[in-house]
Amino acid sequence: MVDKNKKTGIPFIIFLVVITVFLSYWFLKQKEEISQESVAANTANLNQRPIIVNNSNSNSDIANTVAPVSSTFQNADYDFEIANTSEDEAKEMPSGNIYTVYFNEDKISVLDETSEGVIRNSVSVVTESAITMAGQTGARLKAESTKDGSEVNLILVKKNGRLYQFQGSDSFLDRMIKDFSFTD
């Protein structure tokens, strides 16, 4: 006579093994996504959304502030200013070694100049042209994000060990070529 518990025990063990395999796979996938996000947080994330933070005079204390809109946006810490239009609301977001200012959907990031390779590796360049911006030679790129294939418009300019990355619409980049200046 066959023991009824042995018949139901084997399928139950198989069920537990299958569930364990699925859960292990899921946890590994989650760990992989978290590690990719932490790596992305330490690089220039080209698809980053604005978070309203910091006061422009200090990177030590994080406080929720919105820079007042004026005819000129200035940042003495990073030696630049931008002639601003009244419709722009500048939101500053320092994060580690990256300082970013958002103007609606467009942004300017200031990074260490060695970050240029990371930025270029995160996009597939379609066209690149040399430009002069605020007396410095730079590059204007039309590219596609390697992450999701979306269109990315960039200007990259180096000065004093810093890389100034401008990202946004063509009209924003045209305006930055005209209105951005270094203050040092």
pLDDT per residue as tens digits for the range 31-74: 666 655 444 444 444 444 444 444 444 444 444 455 554 578 88
Residue 39: predicted pLDDT: 43
Residue 173: predicted pLDDT: 95
Across the range 75-82, mean pLDDT stands at 90
Alpha carbon 7 to its chain centroid, in Å, reads 56
**Which residues are CB-neighbours of 82 under 8 A, at least 6 positions away?**
72, 73, 74, 108, 176, 179, 180, 181
Question: Per residue in 115-128, pLDDT tens?
Answer: 999 999 999 999 99
Residue 84: predicted pLDDT: 63
pTM of the model: 0.62
Q: For the chain, give every domain's residue range.
A: 1-42, 72-182
What CATH number was assigned to the domain covering residues 72-182? 3.40.1000.10
Question: Per residue in 99-109, pLDDT tens?
Answer: 999 888 899 99
Question: Per residue in 129-172, pLDDT tens?
Answer: 999 999 999 999 999 999 999 999 999 999 999 999 999 999 99
More confident residue, 174 or 37: 174
